[in-house]
Copies of this chain bind each other. A is one copy, B any other.
Amino acid sequence: MDGDALAVRETQVTRPVAEVAHVHRPDETGLGRLESSIRLDRTSPVPLYFQIAVGIKDAIERGAFKAGQLLDTELRLADRLGVSRPTVRQAIQQLAQQGIVVRQRGVGTLVVTQRIERPVALTSLYDDLVASGCTPATTVLEIRELPANLDVATALSLTPEEPVLLVERLRLTDNAPLAVMRNYLPISLLAHDRLEAALEHSGLYDLLRRQGVEFHSADQVIGARKPTSREARLLETSRNGTVLTMTRTAFDRTGRPIEHGRHVYLAEQYSFTMKFVVP
């Protein structure tokens, strides 16, 4: 919904599984019920393995499995779905990479995820605010072209003085300021047309994606400091307060810089929540 799509992710808590050693494979394994609900469309351009992965994931998220329960065997799934084992395997591996299931040689594929509300201690205050019914809003402070300074030029792999588009926004929750967001983009990447109106109601990243820009990775630095006088004024806080700073450069899959953002958040009201998956 806003420029932070890449940084603050809605995540779910991975919960402990019942002792693996004590799990028994029931006579009728998990996908017995599922089998009828996964319908494969061989004429669809969507790959079979993807259809299968989505089908299993949906079933898990609908709560068709208890945590620690065993999925059907690769061979059994292949048989039931009428596809080859490698195809089923590709589907399940996709789920394993997302941490939804865990594969154990000699045992089987265990369902890990359990939809549980995140413990309060780990919730970002911003998400809390939204969840508790606060209405976030965005005010566009400024949109204009300007020559890149050294930092921005370096981040976007441009030469200094080359023009970039600056988008500066104020993020509010319940009419109270929360963050000042400054984003720099290579010109020509975003149609300026009616940009201001669009940004009031959807995020920068949404707009870019809608124009066919594909994100692949981002470098991000999170720090903290005291606000500048301008930031303090915009955020309606004291210069002696604390702000969280987030500096990020996003890249598409060819490694081309897409966007460079420098955001400042009120530390009392915001924290960054993220989930790492070690590859």
A159 close to B (CB within 8 Å): no
In the bound complex, CA of A5 to CA of B196 (Å): 41
Q: Which residue of B lies closest to A86 (CB)?
A: B86
Partner of A122, one of B221, B224, B273: B221
Could you tell me if B256 and A17 are in contact, using CB atoms closer than 8 angstroms? yes
A254/B110 contact (C-beta < 8 A), A274-B220, A275-B220, A279-B98 known: yes
A129 to B220 Cα, complex, angstroms? 19
Tallying the copies of this chain within the complex gives 2
Is A73 located at the chain interface by the 8 A CB criterion?
no
- Which of B17, B216, B253 is A255 in contact with, Cβ under 8 Å? B17
Known A219-B273, A240-B240, A255-B67; contact A155-B119, beta-carbon cutoff 8 A: yes
Per-position binary interface string of chain A over residues 14-46, scored 1 when its CB falls under 8 Å from any chain B CB and 0 otherwise = 111100100000000000000000000000000
Are B256 and A216 in contact, with the CB atoms below 8 A?
no
Q: Using CB atoms, name the residue of chain B closest to A123.
A: B221
Please determine whether A253 and B221 come into contact, CB atoms closer than 8 angstroms: no
Check if B219 sits within 8 Å of A13, measured CB to CB. yes
Q: Are A244 and B220 in contact (CB under 8 A)?
A: no
Nearest 8 Cβ contacts at the A-B interface: A223-B271, A224-B224, A224-B267, A14-B255, A222-B272, A16-B256, A119-B154, A218-B276
